[in-house]
Structure 1
Amino acid sequence: MTTKAGMQDAVRVTARLLDAIAADETLCETAAAAARACVAALRAGRKLLICGNGGSAADAQHWAGELVSRFHYDRPGLPAIALTTDSSILTAIGNDYGYDRVFARQVEALGVAGDVLLAISTSGNSPNVIAALQAARERGLGTIGFTGAAGGRMAALCDHCIRIPSDSTPRIQEGHEVLGHAICAMIEAELFPRHAP
């Protein structure tokens, strides 16, 4: 329904989701714990690796950009790498090892103990994201998952699993974007304290 009322109804659906997220104390504490884990890794001279497919790949790139460049204000760049951006690496791994290995192989190549992998999958069951989490755990990386209410297979592989209270892919993605932004803001403020607008 392409009317003003239809648009208002669509926005209200998202507003209700945001209210549910804000009211969920367990979810907010999990997200805060994830931010603390990222801060600890960065303070120790480690880096963040971020992966996901489709819209989640866009989130990975977005969050890496917020950290490497800036979020609220100017400060030193932070080491964050989206594993979704190098077409030569992605296609080489896909060709040589299969699409399920496109992120795991990069974790094996780039990840060291103490780094943190942020893995995004709305279903919690994306095979290449699961493989990346498994590779991360084998190498001593911290693991943070972003998924939906059910958690999926990734829940058991994450030190912190951020489950958006929805089974709808668009709503889960909207929740990821809000909490991903909040985590970027918390990392920036903790590492480089300053009043943010």
Structure 2
Amino acid sequence: MLNKIKDIIAASIKVKQELLQNDALLETVNTCVTEIVAAFKNGNKVLFCGNGGSAADAQHLAAEFSGRFYLDRDALPAEALHCNTSYMTAVANDYSYDVIYSRLVKGIGIKGDVLIGLSTSGNSKNIVAAFEVAKEKGMITIGFTGESGGKLKAISDYLLNVPSSDTPRIQESHIMLGHIICELVEAQYFA
């Protein structure tokens, strides 16, 4: 059992080592920080979406902006789109689960807002649909995916595709990259 635990930790470290060596992806992280800071300074908001564990990560990262990260500071306008269960269940029931995010992005997203979608496959239909609507509205799209990028690869302004096809390892790296973005945005915005 201890060897299995060590193997899992080693696999997680290996993915993070690959990220550490990927200068193009790290530059994309830096660019995402710049875009999010600019959006906040322009009075825009950051919206998050995901499914399952990725929804939990989306909600976690939204709370880092709207609550606090390291600094005792004002709230930043960020929201995870799945937190209104009455909305989610009504739209999923009356229309389709595939439109739960796109319908809300159409209703509350505006030009200059940022939409961050977390999907380990990059193929989640509801997130792809949300990105399509966001693009129509002139929003900035940031995709957090696994290695291939899936369908989000073609429609993300910025793609953070973790070099793995193993869902838990991808999600561990998503939260790490999200924390890096939150820390740097907070530091720059409140400098």
Calculate the TM-score normalised by the size of structure 1: 0.94
Question: How much does 1:97 deviate?
Answer: 1.3
| 1:146-187 residue CA offsets vs partner (Å, 9 max, x unmatched) | 001101111111110111011111111111011011000011
Q: Which runs of 5+ in 1 are unaligned?
A: none
Residue equivalent to 1:138: 136
For residue 121 of structure 2, give the secondary structure of its aligned residue in structure 1: coil
Which region of structure 1 is more displaced relative to structure 2, 108-117 or 6-15? 6-15
**Could you tell me which amino acid in structure 1 is paired with residue 13 of structure 2?**
A
Alignment of 1:87-166 (within 5 A): 87-166=85-164
Count of matched residue pairs: 191
The answer to whether the aligner puts 1:15 opposite 2:8 as a matched pair is: no
What amino acid maps onto 1:83 in structure 2? L
Give unmatched runs, 5+ long, in structure 2.
none
Match of 2:120, SS state, is coil
SS of the residue 1:124 aligns to? coil
Query: Quick one: percent identity of the two aligned structures?
Result: 46
What is the one-letter code of the residue matched to 1:54?
Answer: G
- Runs of 4+ aligned residues of structure 1 deviating over 4 Å after TM superposition are none
TM-aligned CA deviation for residue 6 of structure 1: 2.9
Q: Does the CA contact (< 8 Å) of 1:60 and 1:84 recur in 2?
A: no
Secondary structure of 2:142 counterpart: strand
How far the C-alpha of 1:9 sits from its partner, in A, is 2.4
1:19 to partner: Cα distance: 1.1
Distance (whole Å) between structure 2 residues aligned to residue 73 and residue 81 of structure 1: 19
* Aligned counterpart, 2:31: 33
Instruction: Measure how far apart 1:47 and its partner are.
Output: 0.2
What is the distance in 1 between the residues matched to 2:161 and 2:108?
27
Deviations 1:82-141 (A, max 9, x none): 001110010111112100000001101110111010011100100000000001001111
TM-score calculated relative to the size of structure 2: 0.97
User: Is the 1:42–1:78 Cα contact (8 Å) retained in structure 2?
Assistant: yes
Could you say what secondary structure the match of 2:159 adopts? strand
Amino acid at match of 1:68: S
Does the 8 Å contact 1:123/1:151 carry over to 2? Answer: yes
The aligned counterpart of 1:68 is 66
Q: Distance in 2 between matches of 1:179 and 1:72?
A: 16
Whole-angstrom CA distance in 2 between matches of 1:150 and 1:103: 22
Provide the aligned C-alpha RMSD in A.
0.9
